[in-house]
Amino acid sequence: MVIIKRIIIILLILICATSVAYSEEIQSKTIVIGGDNNFPPFEYVDKNGVAKGFNVDLIRAIAIEMGLDVEIKLEPWFKTMVNLNSDQIHAIEGMKYSEDRDLLYDFSEPYLQSSQTMFVNVENTYIVHLQDLRGQRVAIQKNDIAIDLLNEIENIHIIEFENQEMALKSLITKEVDVYIGNRLTGLYNIQRSNYREYIKMVGEEINPKNYCIAVKKGNEEIISIFNEGLREIKSNGTYDKIYKKWFGERINLSYEIVEKIIYGLLAGIILSLILIFNFYRWNYVLKNEVNLRTQELQKELIFKEQILDSIFSGLITIDKDENITLINKRALCLLKISKNHLIGKNINDTIVKDHFPIDKMRQVLGGGKEIVNLEKNICMEEKEIMVQYNIYPINYIKEKTIGVTLTFKDITKESILRKEIMIKDKLEALGRMVASIAHEIRNPLTAIKAYVDMIPYKYENEEFRKRITKDVPLEIERLDKLITSLLDYSKPKVTQKKYFLLNEEMDNIIILFKAFIRKMKIDLKINVEEDIYIYFHKEEFRQIIINLLLNSLEALKDVEEPIIHIRAYKEEEKANITLYDNGCGIEKKDLERIFEPFFTTREKGSGLGLFTSYRLIKENEGTLYVESEKKVGTKVKIQIPIKEEL
């Protein structure tokens, strides 16, 4: 116990010695103190350029008492605040205390109570309380503490002025409806400018708070010197003389207030001793915590980089200035480039711009909406690969876009496999239609042959010649349409999206199924609006509809009164196509799997039709829904983008 007491005494001696040495250093240099150049009677510059006011006299008295060399620098209030924040001055001689300001500044012991009030024109009768300011124009001094209160009131128009005198004058000129400022300064300016007939005070005192000397956070030594000086001039009567000079006779404090002050001082001394004793211990613990947290952050950063490097897709992040901020190993491998050639570089100066569309990245940066599932061929070292890429926004507070992420992967093998599956599906559908198509071709050929056989016998018959010149061209045209539709469907093409008229394409597809429809006696009803243009791969659209119609025909084999209804209509910038049949339907347990590759309920089916159709619609930014009930029927609904005719 004795050893602990000795340690405490030694620590107190060392701290006191350090404080004394620092105080002597402060006392040996000029302390620059700022203030408001137009804030009477607290501080102002008179017409001769001399700094005057209660605060000015107070600081000079403290300087004399403590042996300080001070320079008082009075400027507009907002500039004085800037000077303190940028260390151009050491302190401000008078600042009203608030909890928000306490986060930025250290305050001395208070030497006054400062309050604000509302000033209005004498004819004003409707503004009494702060809540009456809604919808009003309110004048305040720039950087005045009143802004904290006004920000809590909705729908007011705040106008800031360089000083309180200018704000008061704006009330005279009716530029504003209310002026909120220091009560004493407002009264001083009203009397000096003889505004008593035009302006009045309303409401109660606003936000009475302590008025103190302020320094930047951490300058406790300067504050302690000013606190000591304040106590000295209060004890020797100098403070009372200055107060009387500027504000008249000072009302003595009551015994209760003095008692509270004494108890407060005692509590402050005890608390200070405890804080001093624990300061070095806290500092040691905090230092260890910082080091530990730094190590944890470094480990976490390395761990995240390892995760990004292990994912299958390439990933690049770009900030709002289009500079590359991150790239993983997979991206470096796909682009055949080193990390040093990309990190920190503007994307326009790298090979990334040669492989991916910069305009789409800017689109996401500007609009914040993701772009996904795009495909592109890129050449790497004379080898062409197919990549799928996505662009996502990086959002910060309030959904503000601060960058984008570009993810991409090599889908060359997948693309080849998709093409093979599509060809297989097309060949299967073609095989299922061959018998019907052969019959459909035979009908016009039979009619043409019959006419040719009768030419030697009926050539002289005028009615026969009219019939042959009319019917044979029609049969040839019918045959041509059928063969053209078949060729368009069967031959491989490099497809591109384009706009086409939906009802015309549906007519071309139905031609291939006329024989099926007649043979099975299907009640076919088609209702397709005539002015619907869709943006789609035309050949892929044809394959989708053929697959769906073939499935309907298969489902209608054992139905006595088969029905197929096809309808297409516009709705909210989408083309809606529905195909309904009253066939055998699909069991509920199978509905969840119908879009899986190679899943089929037919004995000889390949399971590729619906899978291919679903994937093609998704790739064309559309959707495909299937509703079905066993022994009732099936309804397929397709939604795809539409476009008015250009």
Instruction: Please give the Cα distance from 29 to 31 (Å, whole number).
Output: 6
Tell me whether strands 371-380 and 157-161 are parallel, antiparallel or unpaired.
Answer: unpaired
The burial class, CB within 10 Å (0-12 / 13-18 / 19+), for 600 is: middle
Residue 153 confidence class, pLDDT cut points 50, 70, 90: confident
Place of tokens 């001039």: 233
Q: What pLDDT, in 10s, does the model give residues 108-124?
A: 999 998 888 999 998 88
Instruction: Please give the Cα distance from 86 to 305 (Å, whole number).
Output: 39
Whether the pLDDT of residue 336 is over 60: the answer is yes
- Considering only CA atoms, which of 418, 338, 428, 424 is closest in space to residue 375? 418
CA atoms within 13 A on the CB side of 309: 8
Q: Is the CB of residue 36 less than 8 Å from the CB of residue 80?
A: yes
How much of the chain exceeds pLDDT 90, in percent? 19
Reading the block at residue 527, the tokens are 């209702």
* 2-251 fold: D-Maltodextrin-Binding Protein; domain 2 (3.40.190)
Planar angle of CA 503, 504, 505, nearest 5 degrees: 90
pLDDT score, position 17: 45
Whether the pLDDT of residue 371 is over 70: the answer is yes
- Considering only CA atoms, which of 41, 36, 35 is closest in space to residue 192? 41
Q: Is the dihedral of CA 504, 509, 515, 516 positive or negative?
A: negative
Q: Is the CB of residue 69 less than 8 Å from the CB of residue 115?
A: no
Average pLDDT, the chain: 79
Whether the pLDDT of residue 374 is over 60: the answer is yes
Q: What pLDDT, in 10s, does the model give residues 546-559?
A: 888 888 888 888 88
Instruction: Please give the Cα distance from 597 to 517 (Å, whole number).
Output: 28
Q: What pLDDT, in 10s, does the model give residues 407-430?
A: 888 777 766 666 655 555 555 555
**Rounded mean pLDDT of 305-312?**
61
Domain edges within the chain:
2-251, 311-410, 416-641
Whether the pLDDT of residue 446 is over 60: the answer is yes
pTM, whole model, 2 decimals? Answer: 0.37
pLDDT score, position 21: 42
Whether the pLDDT of residue 382 is over 70: the answer is no
How much of the chain exceeds pLDDT 70, in percent? 75
Place of tokens 């384009």: 498
* CATH of segment(s) 416-641: 3.30.565.10
pLDDT score, position 422: 58
Q: What pLDDT, in 10s, does the model give residues 564-581?
A: 999 999 888 889 999 999
- Considering only CA atoms, which of 98, 114, 105 is closest in space to residue 34? 105
pLDDT score, position 471: 64
pLDDT score, position 203: 85
- Per-range mean pLDDT, top range of 155-159, 309-313, 395-399, 602-606: 155-159
Q: What pLDDT, in 10s, does the model give residues 207-216?
A: 888 999 999 9
Q: Which CATH superfamily is 311-410 part of?
A: PAS domain (3.30.450.20)
